[in-house]
Amino acid sequence: MKKTERSGYLYILIGATLWGVSSVVAKSLFIIGLPPAELVQIRLTLATLTLLLVLLIFDKKRMIISLKDVPYFFVLGFVGVAGVQFTYYYTISKIHVGPAVLIQYLSPVWVALYAFVFQKEPLSKRKIAALLLALLGCYFTVGGYRLDLLRLNRIGIVSGLISSLFFSFYALYGEKGLKKYDPWTLILYGFGFGAVFYWLLISPMRVIAGGYSLKIWVAFLYIAIFSTLIPFGLYFKGIERVRATRASITATWEPVVAGLTAYFVLGEVLSPLQVVGGFGVIAAIVLLQMAKEKASPCTPIETRREE
């Protein structure tokens, strides 16, 4: 395996780990009555301002984009970022975290099918096996075999399905932009336009005047940086090295981390089947790294290097 591929998988695994740990924080905020849309607005605004400040100090070149690409970033932010952020958090607010994560992780299927049909990316037997193993492992990890899942809120289930489609669009459309721009550039403008979208729905002054305690603002900052800015940045850095299909499958590590976090932090018991599911996801990631294609489209980072 190439060094860039190894780093790509590592970036995704770290990002998925951060996502898995932070899901508990978001759920706690919904329990106290915070609307999902308001959390998304706060999340995107704080993440954008933080990244803007960092780039202003350390790397202004990554803030430069072509004017002709503004429509691309507009769609990435208004459709991809705004869509996936709201539907994911709305799903978590309506149903349990485990099923919400499970439904969203149908996205590797949509990504793989799109890449195979429209991008001519080959689907080797090992890649198909890794995809199926990851989905099955994810299913068991979040306790999908429990009969009470059949009684979930229908709106929550529909929202979860829509979220999986938005996440697929975000990954594939973001991969397109990575052929020209650095991941942090995509994050800055994607999140920036996404934040503007929610400013139109919820005034920032409403949040400022919300009277939230210092503890809640610390939670907001945690979600903005460790649940948004860093993991999404790492996810894009992973996509530019291993492509969206492999990245989306590898990201199924998130529910494994979420289950372990719930076990250690909340005292939730892990059943034997959940443990087996976790090992299934790990096996899928290993199998995916072993998969070799005879011919495959260039990764975004390879495309940028050729130009």
> With helix as H, strand as E and coil as C, how does the chain read?
CCHHHHHHHHHHHHHHHHHHHHHHHHHHHHHCCCCHHHHHHHHHHHHHHHHHHHHHHHCHHHHCCCHHHHHHHHHHHHHHHHHHHHHHHHHHHHCCHHHHHHHHCCHHHHHHHHHHHHCCCCCCHHHHHHHHHHHHHHHHHCCCCCHHHHHCCHHHHHHHHHHHHHHHHHHHHHHHHHCCCCHHHHHHHHHHHHHHHHHHHCCHHHHHCCCCCHHHHHHHHHHHHHHHHHHHHHHHHHHHHHHHHHHHHHCCHHHHHHHHHHHHHCCCCCCHHHHHHHHHHHHHHHHHHHCCCCCCCCCHHHHHHHC
Residue written as token pair 């299934």:
280
pLDDT of residue 106: 77
pLDDT along the chain (307 residues), means of 10: 83 92 81 89 95 96 95 96 90 75 78 82 80 83 65 77 91 92 95 95 87 92 94 93 85 80 70 81 77 61 66
Q: What is the pLDDT of residue 82?
A: 93
Tokens 């099923």, located at residue: 99
pLDDT of the residue at 307: 57
pLDDT of residue 151: 62
Q: What integer pLDDT is reported at residue 289 of this predicted model?
A: 66
